[in-house]
Every structure is written in structure tokens, then in C-alpha cells.
Amino acid sequence: MSAVPDGKKLVRSPSGLRMVPENGAFTSPFSLDEPQWVPDKECPRCMQCDTKFDFITRKHHCRRCGRCFCDKCCSQKVALPRMCFVDPVRQCSECSLISQKEMEFYDKQLKVLTAGGTFLVKVDSSEKSETMVCRLSNNQRYLFLDGESHFEVELSRISSMQVLTESSTPGGGSLRASGMVLQYKPPESLNLQQLHMETADDKRVASAWLTAMHKAAKLLYESRDQ
């Protein structure tokens, strides 16, 4: 095990090399834990095609789900940033499709979220709104809101997230994201607080940010269900 200067460390697991935070408390809220592998003795056959394992047909474990497969059913090596793997890792056909879809979030949507968008922000039942730039922190753990004031929302403390939409054309055609309502628990508080955001200034950029945040929410809640 070796440490690197940016607060992360390189560790080796049965599945491959991983770059993880020095302190586990600073793990990204989108991260998934490595699965427990199905013990070899409990899988005499491929768990997809039912081919019997023998000296020639070897078994392989999917790094995402931990189940046993033959080489044909678990041949793809796909990037899996949610488990912090340095290199692409072996995954079954079902898991590889999921991981490939997630790569769009890491390749595109994450950049949109860290760049930020401009919104009119209201806290709780306040009638006063403030123009603020909202962006995701580089460590993916906080939403930073900056205007005349500044505050942060920790993603792990968000209990619900609703993206609001409006018609993007006068005739009521396709919809676009126009705002978002968050409920979260501030630190050292048992009460939920509500944050209401509406697109401001460059609505195109803000709407793209909201769309990316909607995709982030899917990963966030999936992580909690693991």
C-alpha cells in the first residue's frame, strides 16, 4: 500500500488496484463498495449460461456484482469509477452495460456539475430569493452556493430531490428543467430544511446543470440502497 500526495492512497484488492481517499469518511457519496465474491465452492456452474466449470472452462468473478461466470459471459473489462478502480475490470454482460451507461455521467455530467449554474435560491418558506451560483465540489461531497452569502449542502444529508420542469416552446412541446427543490438536514440539526432553486441568467446552462443533477441523484440513491 502506498500513499499519494492528493489525499488518496493506492490499495490492492482481489479485484485490482484502487485509488481511494486516505480517510474513508471522505469517500464520494456516489461510490459503491466492492461486493463479496460468491465462494468458488458454491458455484459449480456459470450463473448466466449454466455451463459447468472444469479444468478447461474456468470461472471468473464479476467485479461489480461478485457472481461467478464463465469467460464467455464475463469477458468484458469496463471502467468502474464508482469503486475507484484504476484500470477497467472484468464484469458480466449485465453489469458492464450499467457501468458503460454510468461512464457518461463521469465523462460529461460531472464536468457540468462542477462548472455550476446560476439560480434564484430561496431557503425554507422565505419570500426572499438570492441569485447564487450552485456547483458540485471537486470531491463530489457538497453543493456550494455562492452569491452575496455562501452556504453548503452535504449530498449525504439530502433526503429528497425534485427537478421542476417547464415547456421549452410556446406551443407546449418538449420540457426542460427549470428548477429544483431539495430537502436536507443541516449539520447538528434534526429538522429538514428546504431549498428552492429556479434557473436564472443563462437558463440553458442552468437547465443542463439540473439535468446532470437529476442523473447524479439516481446514482446517489442507488448508492444508499446497496
pLDDT higher than 50, residue 5: no
pLDDT of residue 166: 86
8 Å CB contact between 117 and 199: yes
Residue located via cell numbers 452556493: 145
DSSP string across the chain: -EE-TTSEEEEEETTEEEEEESSGGG--TT--PPPPPPPGGG-SB-TTT-PBP-SSS--EE-TTT--EE-TGGG-EEE--GGGTBSS-EEE-HHHHHHHHHHHHIIIIIHHHHHH-EEEEEEETT-S--EEEEEEE-TTSSEEEEESSSEEEEEGGGEEEEEEEEEESSTTS-SEEEEEEEEEE--TT--S-EEEEEEE-SSHHHHHHHHHHHHHHHHHHHHHHH-
8 Å CB contact between 25 and 4: no
| Mean pLDDT, range 201-216, rounded to an integer | 92
Range(s) of the chain covered by CATH 3.30.40.10: 32-112
- The total of other beta-carbon atoms located within 10 Å of residue 70's CB is 20
* Tens-digit pLDDT profile for residues 122-145: 998 778 899 999 999 998 999 999
pLDDT of residue 226: 55
* Tens-digit pLDDT profile for residues 152-179: 999 989 999 999 998 766 665 678 899 9
pLDDT higher than 60, residue 18: yes
User: Cα(155)–Cα(31) distance, rounded to whole angstroms?
Assistant: 12
Range(s) of the chain covered by CATH 2.30.29.160: 116-225
User: Cα(110)–Cα(154) distance, rounded to whole angstroms?
Assistant: 16
8 Å CB contact between 37 and 65: no
CATH of domain 116-225: 2.30.29.160
Please work out, in degrees rounded to the nearest 5, the angle formed at the alpha carbon of residue 141 by the alpha carbons of 131 and 80: 125
* Tens-digit pLDDT profile for residues 60-89: 999 999 999 999 999 999 999 999 999 999
Phi and psi at residue 155, in whole multiples of 5°? -60, -35
pLDDT of residue 188: 80
Phi-psi region of 188 (alpha: psi -120 to 50; beta: other; left: phi over 0): left
Classify 32-112 by CATH class. alpha beta
Cell numbers linked to 110: 460531472
* Tens-digit pLDDT profile for residues 92-127: 999 999 999 999 899 999 999 999 999 999 998 778
User: Cα(171)–Cα(90) distance, rounded to whole angstroms?
Assistant: 48
8 Å CB contact between 217 and 211: no
The reported pTM is 0.82
